[in-house]
Amino acid sequence: MLTSNVSWLVIFLTSVAPVRSGSLLGLATITNIISGITDILTTNSGEHNNTLPEDATLNITELADKYGYNIEEHTVETDDEYILSLHRIPAQCNETNKVVFLMHGLLDSSDSWLLQGPGYALAYILADEGFDVWMGNARGNKYSKAHKSLDTNQTKYWQFSWDEIGMYDIPAMIDYITNVTSKNIYYVGHSQGTTSFLVMNSYKPEYNKKVKMMFSLAPIAWLIHTKSLIVKLFTGDIIFQYFLSMLNEPSNFEDILSNLCKILLSSCDDKIYFFVTNNKLTNDSMLDIVKGHFPTSSSTLQLIHYSQLVQSKRFCRFDFGVEENLKRYGSSKPPDYDVGKTTVPTVLFYSNSDRLSDIADVMLLFNRLPNVYDTYLAYKWDHIDYLYASVAKDTIYAKIVQYIKE
Ligand SMILES: *[C@@H]1O[C@H](CO)[C@@H](O)[C@H](O)[C@H]1NC(C)=O
Ligand SMILES: *[C@@H]1O[C@H](CO)[C@@H](O)[C@H](O)[C@H]1NC(C)=O
Ligand SMILES: *[C@@H]1O[C@H](CO)[C@@H](O)[C@H](O)[C@H]1NC(C)=O
Ligand SMILES: *[C@@H]1O[C@H](CO)[C@@H](O)[C@H](O)[C@H]1NC(C)=O
Ligand SMILES: *[C@@H]1O[C@H](CO)[C@@H](O)[C@H](O)[C@H]1NC(C)=O
Ligand SMILES: *[C@@H]1O[C@H](CO)[C@@H](O)[C@H](O)[C@H]1NC(C)=O
Protein backbone atom coordinates (compact mmCIF):
# COMPACT_ATOMS: atom_id res chain seq x y z
CA MET A 1 0.00 0.00 0.00
CA LEU A 2 2.84 2.30 0.91
CA THR A 3 4.62 1.91 -2.42
CA SER A 4 1.49 2.26 -4.46
CA ASN A 5 0.52 5.43 -2.67
CA VAL A 6 3.92 6.97 -3.18
CA SER A 7 4.00 6.15 -6.87
CA TRP A 8 0.52 7.59 -7.11
CA LEU A 9 1.95 10.78 -5.72
CA VAL A 10 4.77 10.83 -8.25
CA ILE A 11 2.22 10.49 -11.05
CA PHE A 12 0.14 13.16 -9.43
CA LEU A 13 3.08 15.53 -9.17
CA THR A 14 4.39 14.95 -12.64
CA SER A 15 0.98 15.25 -14.20
CA VAL A 16 0.25 18.47 -12.42
CA ALA A 17 3.66 19.96 -13.13
CA PRO A 18 3.05 21.07 -16.72
CA VAL A 19 -0.18 22.81 -15.75
CA ARG A 20 1.62 25.78 -14.31
CA SER A 21 4.56 27.03 -16.26
CA GLY A 22 7.22 28.76 -14.24
CA SER A 23 6.48 26.78 -11.12
CA LEU A 24 8.42 23.61 -11.81
CA LEU A 25 9.64 22.03 -8.63
CA GLY A 26 13.28 21.20 -8.19
CA LEU A 27 14.06 17.52 -7.78
CA ALA A 28 15.22 18.15 -4.23
CA THR A 29 11.83 19.55 -3.28
CA ILE A 30 10.02 16.58 -4.79
CA THR A 31 12.27 14.20 -2.89
CA ASN A 32 11.59 16.19 0.23
CA ILE A 33 7.86 16.01 -0.19
CA ILE A 34 7.89 12.30 -1.01
CA SER A 35 9.96 11.54 2.06
CA GLY A 36 7.47 13.52 4.10
CA ILE A 37 4.57 11.59 2.58
CA THR A 38 6.38 8.34 3.31
CA ASP A 39 6.57 9.47 6.93
CA ILE A 40 2.84 9.97 7.02
CA LEU A 41 2.12 6.62 5.46
CA THR A 42 4.49 4.80 7.79
CA THR A 43 2.96 6.46 10.82
CA ASN A 44 -0.39 5.54 9.41
CA SER A 45 0.44 1.92 8.64
CA GLY A 46 -1.29 -0.44 11.17
CA GLU A 47 -4.94 -1.43 11.01
CA HIS A 48 -7.25 1.10 12.52
CA ASN A 49 -10.04 0.61 14.97
CA ASN A 50 -13.08 2.15 13.37
CA THR A 51 -15.14 2.19 16.55
CA LEU A 52 -14.46 5.61 17.97
CA PRO A 53 -14.34 5.94 21.75
CA GLU A 54 -17.24 7.94 23.21
CA ASP A 55 -15.12 11.02 23.98
CA ALA A 56 -14.29 11.30 20.28
CA THR A 57 -17.95 11.93 19.54
CA LEU A 58 -18.89 14.42 22.29
CA ASN A 59 -18.72 18.20 21.95
CA ILE A 60 -17.24 20.42 24.63
CA THR A 61 -20.42 20.87 26.67
CA GLU A 62 -21.15 17.15 26.56
CA LEU A 63 -17.59 16.33 27.62
CA ALA A 64 -17.64 18.70 30.58
CA ASP A 65 -21.10 17.45 31.61
CA LYS A 66 -19.92 13.85 31.41
CA TYR A 67 -17.06 14.52 33.81
CA GLY A 68 -19.10 16.66 36.20
CA TYR A 69 -17.71 20.10 35.34
CA ASN A 70 -19.95 23.11 35.04
CA ILE A 71 -19.49 24.73 31.61
CA GLU A 72 -20.82 27.99 30.16
CA GLU A 73 -20.97 29.25 26.60
CA HIS A 74 -20.54 32.96 25.87
CA THR A 75 -20.66 34.75 22.54
CA VAL A 76 -18.48 37.67 21.56
CA GLU A 77 -18.75 39.90 18.51
CA THR A 78 -15.59 41.23 16.89
CA ASP A 79 -15.17 44.70 15.33
CA ASP A 80 -15.51 43.09 11.89
CA GLU A 81 -18.70 41.31 12.96
CA TYR A 82 -17.59 37.72 13.37
CA ILE A 83 -19.42 36.01 16.21
CA LEU A 84 -17.21 33.81 18.35
CA SER A 85 -17.88 31.25 21.08
CA LEU A 86 -16.04 31.33 24.36
CA HIS A 87 -16.30 28.39 26.74
CA ARG A 88 -15.85 28.81 30.45
CA ILE A 89 -15.44 26.47 33.38
CA PRO A 90 -16.24 29.00 36.09
CA ALA A 91 -14.51 29.03 39.42
CA GLN A 92 -16.51 27.93 42.42
CA CYS A 93 -17.45 31.20 44.12
CA ASN A 94 -14.05 32.39 45.11
CA GLU A 95 -13.51 36.13 45.02
CA THR A 96 -9.74 35.80 44.91
CA ASN A 97 -9.78 33.70 41.80
CA LYS A 98 -7.37 34.05 38.99
CA VAL A 99 -8.58 34.04 35.41
CA VAL A 100 -6.88 31.92 32.76
CA PHE A 101 -7.57 32.18 29.04
CA LEU A 102 -6.60 29.25 26.80
CA MET A 103 -6.24 29.76 23.05
CA HIS A 104 -6.03 26.81 20.68
CA GLY A 105 -3.85 26.27 17.58
CA LEU A 106 -4.39 25.95 13.84
CA LEU A 107 -7.37 23.77 12.78
CA ASP A 108 -8.26 23.28 16.41
CA SER A 109 -10.88 24.40 18.95
CA SER A 110 -11.54 24.78 22.67
CA ASP A 111 -12.05 20.98 22.78
CA SER A 112 -8.30 20.46 22.74
CA TRP A 113 -7.94 21.66 26.35
CA LEU A 114 -10.32 18.96 27.71
CA LEU A 115 -9.68 15.83 25.68
CA GLN A 116 -7.26 14.13 28.04
CA GLY A 117 -9.98 14.08 30.69
CA PRO A 118 -10.00 14.98 34.40
CA GLY A 119 -6.64 14.81 36.14
CA TYR A 120 -4.79 15.10 32.81
CA ALA A 121 -6.29 17.87 30.66
CA LEU A 122 -5.11 21.42 31.32
CA ALA A 123 -8.61 22.96 31.56
CA TYR A 124 -9.67 20.53 34.31
CA ILE A 125 -6.38 20.84 36.16
CA LEU A 126 -6.71 24.64 36.25
CA ALA A 127 -10.37 24.39 37.30
CA ASP A 128 -9.42 21.96 40.08
CA GLU A 129 -6.94 24.58 41.31
CA GLY A 130 -9.84 27.00 41.70
CA PHE A 131 -9.02 29.16 38.67
CA ASP A 132 -11.66 30.65 36.40
CA VAL A 133 -10.97 28.94 33.05
CA TRP A 134 -11.93 30.49 29.69
CA MET A 135 -11.31 28.85 26.33
CA GLY A 136 -11.38 30.79 23.06
CA ASN A 137 -12.43 29.78 19.56
CA ALA A 138 -11.00 31.54 16.52
CA ARG A 139 -13.26 32.62 13.66
CA GLY A 140 -14.09 29.83 11.22
CA ASN A 141 -13.68 26.91 13.61
CA LYS A 142 -16.58 24.62 14.42
CA TYR A 143 -17.82 26.75 17.35
CA SER A 144 -17.22 30.17 15.77
CA LYS A 145 -18.87 30.02 12.36
CA ALA A 146 -21.36 32.83 12.79
CA HIS A 147 -21.14 36.33 11.36
CA LYS A 148 -23.59 39.21 11.49
CA SER A 149 -24.04 39.38 7.72
CA LEU A 150 -21.83 36.73 6.07
CA ASP A 151 -22.45 33.00 5.72
CA THR A 152 -19.75 30.32 5.61
CA ASN A 153 -20.84 29.41 2.08
CA GLN A 154 -19.53 32.83 0.94
CA THR A 155 -15.90 33.35 -0.06
CA LYS A 156 -15.84 36.68 1.73
CA TYR A 157 -16.44 34.92 5.04
CA TRP A 158 -13.13 33.01 4.71
CA GLN A 159 -11.09 36.09 3.79
CA PHE A 160 -8.86 35.98 6.86
CA SER A 161 -5.67 34.46 8.22
CA TRP A 162 -4.27 34.43 11.75
CA ASP A 163 -3.50 38.10 11.15
CA GLU A 164 -7.20 38.90 11.60
CA ILE A 165 -7.46 36.41 14.48
CA GLY A 166 -4.74 38.42 16.25
CA MET A 167 -6.10 41.79 15.22
CA TYR A 168 -9.78 41.17 16.06
CA ASP A 169 -10.58 37.85 17.74
CA ILE A 170 -8.08 37.72 20.59
CA PRO A 171 -8.65 41.36 21.66
CA ALA A 172 -12.46 40.91 21.52
CA MET A 173 -12.29 37.79 23.68
CA ILE A 174 -9.88 39.38 26.16
CA ASP A 175 -12.11 42.48 26.42
CA TYR A 176 -15.12 40.29 27.09
CA ILE A 177 -13.39 38.18 29.75
CA THR A 178 -11.81 41.10 31.58
CA ASN A 179 -15.16 42.88 31.47
CA VAL A 180 -17.11 39.97 32.95
CA THR A 181 -14.53 39.07 35.58
CA SER A 182 -13.04 42.53 36.29
CA LYS A 183 -9.66 40.83 36.34
CA ASN A 184 -6.65 40.68 34.10
CA ILE A 185 -5.89 37.29 32.59
CA TYR A 186 -3.18 34.68 32.35
CA TYR A 187 -2.88 33.66 28.70
CA VAL A 188 -1.99 30.14 27.55
CA GLY A 189 -1.56 29.72 23.80
CA HIS A 190 -0.75 26.64 21.78
CA SER A 191 0.92 27.06 18.37
CA GLN A 192 -1.26 29.49 16.36
CA GLY A 193 -2.59 30.65 19.74
CA THR A 194 0.92 32.03 20.34
CA THR A 195 1.27 33.54 16.85
CA SER A 196 -2.01 35.42 17.11
CA PHE A 197 -1.03 36.75 20.54
CA LEU A 198 2.18 38.25 19.10
CA VAL A 199 0.16 39.69 16.22
CA MET A 200 -2.32 41.28 18.64
CA ASN A 201 0.40 43.02 20.64
CA SER A 202 2.15 44.16 17.50
CA TYR A 203 -1.02 46.07 16.51
CA LYS A 204 -2.45 46.79 19.95
CA PRO A 205 0.31 46.85 22.56
CA GLU A 206 -2.17 48.22 25.11
CA TYR A 207 -3.34 44.61 25.56
CA ASN A 208 -0.10 43.80 27.36
CA LYS A 209 -1.69 45.56 30.34
CA LYS A 210 -4.60 43.12 30.43
CA VAL A 211 -2.35 40.07 30.55
CA LYS A 212 -0.41 39.12 33.66
CA MET A 213 1.65 36.42 32.05
CA MET A 214 1.85 34.59 28.73
CA PHE A 215 2.49 30.84 28.55
CA SER A 216 3.59 29.96 25.06
CA LEU A 217 3.27 26.25 24.19
CA ALA A 218 5.07 25.28 20.97
CA PRO A 219 5.56 28.94 19.96
CA ILE A 220 5.28 29.87 16.29
CA ALA A 221 6.62 33.10 14.80
CA TRP A 222 9.58 32.55 12.46
CA LEU A 223 9.34 29.34 10.41
CA ILE A 224 12.76 29.27 8.83
CA HIS A 225 13.71 25.84 10.15
CA THR A 226 10.33 24.14 10.29
CA LYS A 227 10.17 20.54 9.14
CA SER A 228 6.41 20.28 9.15
CA LEU A 229 5.18 18.50 6.07
CA ILE A 230 1.80 20.15 5.95
CA VAL A 231 3.31 23.61 5.93
CA LYS A 232 6.03 22.58 3.47
CA LEU A 233 3.53 20.98 1.13
CA PHE A 234 2.07 24.38 0.57
CA THR A 235 5.43 25.93 -0.15
CA GLY A 236 6.21 23.34 -2.82
CA ASP A 237 4.77 25.52 -5.59
CA ILE A 238 3.08 22.78 -7.55
CA ILE A 239 0.78 21.38 -4.93
CA PHE A 240 0.19 24.83 -3.61
CA GLN A 241 -0.69 26.18 -7.05
CA TYR A 242 -2.72 23.10 -7.86
CA PHE A 243 -5.00 23.43 -4.87
CA LEU A 244 -5.17 27.17 -5.27
CA SER A 245 -6.21 26.77 -8.88
CA MET A 246 -8.90 24.35 -7.75
CA LEU A 247 -10.20 26.95 -5.35
CA ASN A 248 -9.08 30.24 -6.76
CA GLU A 249 -10.38 31.92 -3.67
CA PRO A 250 -10.19 31.62 0.10
CA SER A 251 -12.28 28.83 1.54
CA ASN A 252 -12.48 26.29 4.30
CA PHE A 253 -9.18 24.43 4.60
CA GLU A 254 -11.02 21.30 5.73
CA ASP A 255 -12.20 20.81 2.15
CA ILE A 256 -8.64 20.87 0.78
CA LEU A 257 -7.49 18.49 3.47
CA SER A 258 -10.25 16.08 2.53
CA ASN A 259 -9.03 16.13 -1.06
CA LEU A 260 -5.44 15.60 0.03
CA CYS A 261 -6.29 12.70 2.28
CA LYS A 262 -8.36 11.00 -0.41
CA ILE A 263 -5.23 10.99 -2.54
CA LEU A 264 -2.71 10.06 0.11
CA LEU A 265 -4.35 8.17 2.94
CA SER A 266 -6.51 5.12 2.99
CA SER A 267 -9.20 6.73 5.09
CA CYS A 268 -10.25 10.30 5.64
CA ASP A 269 -10.91 9.53 9.30
CA ASP A 270 -7.14 9.68 9.65
CA LYS A 271 -6.40 13.29 8.72
CA ILE A 272 -4.61 13.62 12.05
CA TYR A 273 -1.64 11.77 10.49
CA PHE A 274 -0.76 14.85 8.51
CA PHE A 275 0.15 16.43 11.81
CA VAL A 276 1.76 13.75 13.95
CA THR A 277 4.92 11.76 13.64
CA ASN A 278 5.93 8.42 15.04
CA ASN A 279 6.25 9.67 18.56
CA LYS A 280 4.60 7.71 21.32
CA LEU A 281 4.11 10.34 24.01
CA THR A 282 0.53 10.79 22.90
CA ASN A 283 -0.73 7.24 23.12
CA ASP A 284 -2.97 5.52 20.56
CA SER A 285 -6.11 5.52 22.68
CA MET A 286 -5.68 9.27 23.13
CA LEU A 287 -5.15 9.73 19.38
CA ASP A 288 -8.43 7.91 18.73
CA ILE A 289 -10.20 10.54 20.81
CA VAL A 290 -8.32 13.41 19.16
CA LYS A 291 -9.36 12.16 15.71
CA GLY A 292 -12.95 12.98 16.56
CA HIS A 293 -12.08 16.63 17.24
CA PHE A 294 -9.17 17.57 15.03
CA PRO A 295 -8.89 19.01 12.46
CA THR A 296 -11.80 21.41 12.55
CA SER A 297 -12.51 24.08 9.95
CA SER A 298 -10.27 27.08 9.26
CA SER A 299 -9.45 29.37 6.38
CA THR A 300 -7.01 28.23 3.68
CA LEU A 301 -5.32 31.61 4.14
CA GLN A 302 -4.15 30.65 7.64
CA LEU A 303 -2.08 27.84 6.21
CA ILE A 304 -0.98 29.85 3.21
CA HIS A 305 0.16 32.67 5.50
CA TYR A 306 2.34 30.20 7.47
CA SER A 307 3.74 28.83 4.22
CA GLN A 308 4.63 32.36 3.13
CA LEU A 309 6.70 32.72 6.31
CA VAL A 310 8.65 29.59 5.39
CA GLN A 311 9.47 31.09 2.00
CA SER A 312 10.17 34.67 3.09
CA LYS A 313 12.06 33.63 6.24
CA ARG A 314 10.29 36.53 7.97
CA PHE A 315 7.53 37.00 10.55
CA CYS A 316 5.32 39.36 8.59
CA ARG A 317 1.83 40.18 7.37
CA PHE A 318 0.07 38.37 4.56
CA ASP A 319 1.66 38.73 1.14
CA PHE A 320 -1.07 39.59 -1.38
CA GLY A 321 1.34 40.26 -4.26
CA VAL A 322 3.00 43.58 -5.13
CA GLU A 323 -0.05 45.43 -6.43
CA GLU A 324 -2.37 44.59 -3.54
CA ASN A 325 0.45 45.01 -0.99
CA LEU A 326 1.02 48.56 -2.23
CA LYS A 327 -2.67 49.30 -1.82
CA ARG A 328 -2.95 47.78 1.64
CA TYR A 329 0.45 48.41 3.17
CA GLY A 330 1.95 51.15 0.99
CA SER A 331 4.94 48.88 0.33
CA SER A 332 5.59 46.13 -2.18
CA LYS A 333 6.43 43.66 0.58
CA PRO A 334 4.29 42.95 3.64
CA PRO A 335 5.48 44.68 6.85
CA ASP A 336 7.06 42.73 9.70
CA TYR A 337 5.25 42.14 12.98
CA ASP A 338 6.92 43.87 15.89
CA VAL A 339 7.58 41.11 18.41
CA GLY A 340 9.31 43.70 20.60
CA LYS A 341 5.85 45.02 21.50
CA THR A 342 4.97 41.88 23.43
CA THR A 343 6.23 43.15 26.75
CA VAL A 344 4.22 40.86 29.03
CA PRO A 345 6.33 38.32 30.98
CA THR A 346 6.46 35.25 28.77
CA VAL A 347 7.32 31.62 29.42
CA LEU A 348 8.34 29.65 26.34
CA PHE A 349 7.67 25.89 26.36
CA TYR A 350 9.39 24.29 23.39
CA SER A 351 10.92 21.02 22.29
CA ASN A 352 13.86 19.62 20.38
CA SER A 353 11.68 17.31 18.28
CA ASP A 354 8.67 19.41 17.36
CA ARG A 355 8.70 19.44 13.56
CA LEU A 356 6.55 22.54 13.25
CA SER A 357 7.93 24.69 16.06
CA ASP A 358 11.63 24.08 15.50
CA ILE A 359 14.02 24.86 18.34
CA ALA A 360 16.11 27.18 16.12
CA ASP A 361 13.03 29.23 15.25
CA VAL A 362 11.99 29.42 18.91
CA MET A 363 15.47 30.80 19.64
CA LEU A 364 14.92 33.57 17.06
CA LEU A 365 11.76 34.51 18.92
CA PHE A 366 13.47 34.23 22.30
CA ASN A 367 16.17 36.68 21.17
CA ARG A 368 13.61 39.28 20.11
CA LEU A 369 11.09 39.05 22.95
CA PRO A 370 11.87 41.78 25.48
CA ASN A 371 10.51 40.02 28.56
CA VAL A 372 11.09 36.26 28.58
CA TYR A 373 10.49 35.24 32.17
CA ASP A 374 11.51 31.62 31.75
CA THR A 375 11.96 28.85 29.21
CA TYR A 376 11.21 25.16 29.45
CA LEU A 377 12.57 22.49 27.13
CA ALA A 378 10.21 19.54 26.76
CA TYR A 379 12.49 16.74 25.74
CA LYS A 380 11.49 14.96 22.53
CA TRP A 381 7.95 16.26 22.32
CA ASP A 382 5.82 16.48 19.22
CA HIS A 383 3.58 19.42 18.39
CA ILE A 384 0.42 17.82 19.78
CA ASP A 385 2.01 16.43 22.96
CA TYR A 386 1.51 19.80 24.68
CA LEU A 387 -2.18 18.94 24.63
CA TYR A 388 -2.38 15.17 24.62
CA ALA A 389 0.65 13.55 26.24
CA SER A 390 -0.10 12.14 29.68
CA VAL A 391 3.32 13.43 30.87
CA ALA A 392 2.19 17.03 30.27
CA LYS A 393 0.38 17.21 33.60
CA ASP A 394 3.47 16.60 35.73
CA THR A 395 5.71 18.76 33.59
CA ILE A 396 4.39 21.79 31.75
CA TYR A 397 0.92 21.95 33.34
CA ALA A 398 2.46 21.74 36.81
CA LYS A 399 4.79 24.60 35.82
CA ILE A 400 1.91 26.74 34.58
CA VAL A 401 -0.04 26.21 37.81
CA GLN A 402 3.06 27.05 39.83
CA TYR A 403 3.70 30.32 37.95
CA ILE A 404 0.07 31.40 38.26
CA LYS A 405 0.08 30.75 41.99
CA GLU A 406 3.32 32.66 42.56
C1 LIG B 1 -12.01 -0.47 19.34
O2 LIG B 1 -12.26 0.66 20.19
C3 LIG B 1 -13.35 0.46 21.10
C4 LIG B 1 -13.60 1.78 21.83
O5 LIG B 1 -12.42 2.32 22.33
C6 LIG B 1 -13.01 -0.70 22.03
O7 LIG B 1 -14.09 -0.91 22.91
C8 LIG B 1 -12.75 -1.95 21.21
O9 LIG B 1 -12.34 -3.00 22.06
C10 LIG B 1 -11.66 -1.70 20.16
N11 LIG B 1 -11.54 -2.88 19.29
C12 LIG B 1 -10.38 -3.37 18.93
C13 LIG B 1 -10.42 -4.54 18.01
O14 LIG B 1 -9.30 -2.91 19.33
C1 LIG C 1 -23.25 20.03 22.12
O2 LIG C 1 -24.29 19.18 21.71
C3 LIG C 1 -25.50 19.38 22.43
C4 LIG C 1 -26.49 18.31 22.04
O5 LIG C 1 -26.26 17.79 20.80
C6 LIG C 1 -26.03 20.78 22.12
O7 LIG C 1 -27.23 21.02 22.84
C8 LIG C 1 -24.97 21.79 22.53
O9 LIG C 1 -25.38 23.08 22.19
C10 LIG C 1 -23.65 21.47 21.85
N11 LIG C 1 -22.63 22.37 22.39
C12 LIG C 1 -21.86 23.11 21.62
C13 LIG C 1 -20.86 23.97 22.32
O14 LIG C 1 -21.94 23.12 20.42
C1 LIG D 1 -9.97 30.86 47.21
O2 LIG D 1 -8.74 30.80 46.45
C3 LIG D 1 -7.59 30.98 47.23
C4 LIG D 1 -6.40 31.03 46.29
O5 LIG D 1 -6.48 30.04 45.32
C6 LIG D 1 -7.49 29.85 48.26
O7 LIG D 1 -6.36 30.06 49.06
C8 LIG D 1 -8.75 29.87 49.13
O9 LIG D 1 -8.73 28.78 50.01
C10 LIG D 1 -10.01 29.79 48.26
N11 LIG D 1 -11.20 29.94 49.08
C12 LIG D 1 -12.27 29.19 48.95
C13 LIG D 1 -13.42 29.54 49.84
O14 LIG D 1 -12.35 28.28 48.17
C1 LIG E 1 -25.78 30.13 1.88
O2 LIG E 1 -26.46 29.59 3.00
C3 LIG E 1 -27.64 30.31 3.33
C4 LIG E 1 -28.26 29.68 4.57
O5 LIG E 1 -27.32 29.20 5.43
C6 LIG E 1 -28.61 30.26 2.16
O7 LIG E 1 -29.76 31.03 2.49
C8 LIG E 1 -27.95 30.82 0.91
O9 LIG E 1 -28.80 30.66 -0.18
C10 LIG E 1 -26.63 30.10 0.65
N11 LIG E 1 -25.96 30.76 -0.45
C12 LIG E 1 -25.33 30.10 -1.40
C13 LIG E 1 -24.67 30.94 -2.45
O14 LIG E 1 -25.27 28.88 -1.43
C1 LIG F 1 -18.22 45.85 29.18
O2 LIG F 1 -19.32 46.03 30.07
C3 LIG F 1 -19.99 47.28 29.89
C4 LIG F 1 -21.02 47.39 30.99
O5 LIG F 1 -21.67 46.19 31.22
C6 LIG F 1 -20.57 47.34 28.50
O7 LIG F 1 -21.21 48.58 28.30
C8 LIG F 1 -19.46 47.16 27.48
O9 LIG F 1 -20.01 47.11 26.18
C10 LIG F 1 -18.71 45.90 27.74
N11 LIG F 1 -17.58 45.80 26.85
C12 LIG F 1 -17.24 44.66 26.26
C13 LIG F 1 -16.03 44.73 25.39
O14 LIG F 1 -17.83 43.61 26.41
C1 LIG G 1 -3.23 7.21 27.32
O2 LIG G 1 -3.15 8.56 27.79
C3 LIG G 1 -4.25 8.96 28.57
C4 LIG G 1 -4.08 10.42 28.94
O5 LIG G 1 -3.26 11.09 28.08
C6 LIG G 1 -4.35 8.10 29.81
O7 LIG G 1 -5.49 8.47 30.57
C8 LIG G 1 -4.44 6.65 29.42
O9 LIG G 1 -4.41 5.85 30.57
C10 LIG G 1 -3.30 6.26 28.49
N11 LIG G 1 -3.54 4.92 28.00
C12 LIG G 1 -2.60 3.99 27.99
C13 LIG G 1 -3.00 2.67 27.43
O14 LIG G 1 -1.47 4.21 28.41
Identify the nearest ligand to the CA of 154 by its number: 4
What type of residue sits at position 126?
Answer: L
**Atom nearest to 61 CA in ligand 2:** 11
* Percentage of the chain modeled with pLDDT above 90: 64
Distance from the alpha carbon of residue 58 to the mean position of ligand 2, in angstroms: 9
Beta bridge partners of 74: 86
Distance from the alpha carbon of residue 62 to the mean position of ligand 2, in angstroms: 7
Report pLDDT for 160: 95
Report pLDDT for 42: 56
Q: pLDDT tens digits for 253-307?
A: 777 777 766 666 656 666 777 777 666 799 889 988 998 999 899 998 898 899 8
Identify the nearest ligand to the CA of 74 by its number: 2
Q: pLDDT tens digits for 94-119?
A: 666 899 999 999 999 999 999 999 99
What average pLDDT score do residues 328-351 get? 98
Please name the residues in contact with 191: beta carbons below 8 A apart, sequence gap of 6 or more.
105, 106, 108, 217, 218, 219, 220, 356, 357, 383
> Does residue 224 register a pLDDT over 60?
yes
Report pLDDT for 307: 85
Distance from the alpha carbon of residue 96 to the mean position of ligand 3, in angstroms: 7
* pLDDT tier for residue 336 given thresholds of 50, 70 and 90: very high
- Tell me the range of 9-13, 301-305, 311-315, 397-401 where mean pLDDT is highest: 397-401
Ligand 6 pocket check for 243: Cβ under 6 Å? no
> Does residue 239 register a pLDDT over 80?
no
> Does residue 1 register a pLDDT over 80?
no
| Predicted model pTM | 0.86
Report pLDDT for 319: 92
Residue located nearest, by CA, to atom 10 of ligand 5: 179
77-99 b/e (C-beta count within 10 Å ≥ 16 → b)? ebebebebbbbbbbbeeeeebbb
* Percentage of the chain modeled with pLDDT above 70: 77
Ligand 6 pocket check for 390: Cβ under 6 Å? yes
Q: Give the lowest-confidence range in 43-57, 115-129, 346-360.
A: 43-57
